[in-house]
A and B are shown apart, each in its own frame.
Chain A
Amino acid sequence: MIEEIAPESPVIVNRHRRVLTWTAYGLLTAIGLLTLPWIIEKSTLAIIGAQSTEKVEEAQIANLTSQLQNELGILEKKLTAKTPKGAYMIVNTAANTFALYRGSELIHADKCSTGSYVLLKNGDNQEWMFKTPKGEFRIKSRTVAPVWKKPDWAFVEEGLPIPSMNHSSRFEYGVLGDYALGLGDGYLIHGTLYQRFLGLPVTHGCIRLNDANLKLAYESLKNGSKVYIY
């Protein structure tokens, strides 16, 4: 008997399908590899952040909460008490602005001028840095119609010979405005003839205000009032 064998149908190689399949595998692998660190990171972080399984009684939670609230209240009062009750001034040397406060209430804010950061060198022996100091200061003196006793650098800066300590050329009247508030070490809050420079870093370390602001500062700040400079 002769058995009839049906011819096998030819295998059609679908190239497009193969390319698509391999592209899909490739993409899946790439996505898998790229997301692997993320998945591991998220899983490990979830383990790290997992809440303790230890049971805590309701009463214990209430107790802890009220204890923490009480302690927090005391600590916050302590911190609030650090802010001066009276008037104080804050000076921002980067923006050349100042703000006058009384407690947490803002009285007034405006432009001022602070140190220029000029390093003046007189040969190899002498140098002066015109920088406004930073930190907490107190008003140490309050003067009406102050007279400026020019220091040595004022002459060096102008190319003039340095006179003796009490020479008449050292004393200038009216250049500091109507008032001056001393911060110690020769640093003052005073007025200026150069109002157009307010808001710019142009001083030799002092803080310059316009006339109205200077009057307000003088009236608000007493001896011992705090001045914060940053």
Chain B
Amino acid sequence: MKITLLIIAFLLLVFLIQLGIAPAGVARQWREKLEANDSLYMQNYDPGYEIPEVEALARKKAFVEAQLELAEDDSIHLIVNLRDSAIHLAIHGVTIHTSKLPAIENDALLKSIPNKLYLGLFSDPVAITSIQSTIVKEPIVERQAPKDPVEAALNAYEPDTLIQNPAYIRLRLVHGIDLVLEQHSNPSFAEQWTRFRFRQESRPTVGSRVRRMISFRGQEYTPTIRLKLPANDIRALYRALPAQPKVVLYY
């Protein structure tokens, strides 16, 4: 009995330590990836960029550079400016939509990474690898052609303006970061339930947690930026994004 209790206590301790060090593991992976892919940048990095007043300018410059790079692209893309609490859509360098963000939750790891890592990760536009959403991208309504004018008059199309599902979108960025757009207000129970289920979907299952704990592989950690904005803006942003969207992130 005592031994079983000791083993359980040990595993629990291992699990808790794994949870604690998981963000550091992600930071290490990013650093290793940068060293492998962009070793020149890592070697030539000027330590002066870590000084707060220089850091702010360097980040702003990286932000504008990334926007200019995307301006060469023919697709609509997303710009997330956490410093100004705003999210934009832009094409060819022209901002075509702006939405203010009433609430922002930035990840503790992202906030604490050194400037060297920040510039390495966000100096270029970041590709979005997958999108999960509670709303449809294109509300396509399939209709068969009527046989005659009488049937056409009977089936006259009336737009359905009541299709307003709660709007939640998760954009998985190429660095394994989740950019989550959540509708700002959740007045009804159905909306709160949708949000709960949507958030649950991204959490690791108990099984995967236990497997990782037993195998000492370290727990999963997904840095997440959670942005709240009006549901209509989420619909507009989601509908505007092309098949292979990119995002410029600035904070």
Contact = CB atoms under 8 A, between A and B. Distances in A.
A160 B114 contact: no
Given A49-B114, A95-B236, A136-B91, A75 B149 contact: no
Given A119-B141, A156-B145, A230 B236 contact: yes
A151 to B, nearest CB: 14
Contact of B146 (A61, A117, A159, A200): A159
Nearest to B24: A44
Contacts of A171: none
B16 A36 contact: yes
Given A37-B20, A84-B94, A135-B75, A51 B159 contact: no
Interface stretch (A1-9, A66-74, A185-193, A211-219): A66-74
Interface stretch (B48-56, B176-184, B192-200, B203-211): B48-56
Contacts of B6: none
The majority secondary structure among interface residues of chain B is helix
Given A37-B17, A56-B47, A117-B140, A230 B159 contact: no
Interface stretch (A11-19, A86-94, A141-149, A173-181): A86-94
B27 interface: yes
Interface in A131-172: 131, 134-136, 156-160
Q: Taking each of A56, A69, A84, A88, which has the highest tally of chain B beta carbons within 10 Å of its own beta carbon?
A: A56
A83 interface: yes
B19 A37 contact: yes
B96 interface: yes
Interface of B: 12-13, 16-17, 19-24, 27, 46-51, 53-54, 57-58, 60-61, 64-65, 67-68, 71, 74-76, 89, 91-97, 108-109, 111-114, 138-152, 157, 159, 161, 232, 235-236, 239-240, 242
Nearest 7 A/B pairs, CB to CB? A40-B20, A82-B93, A49-B112, A230-B240, A159-B146, A37-B19, A94-B236
Interface of A: 33, 36-42, 44-52, 54, 56, 60-61, 64-65, 68-69, 71-72, 75-76, 78-79, 82-84, 88, 90, 92-95, 116-123, 129, 131, 134-136, 156-160, 197, 200-202, 226, 228, 230
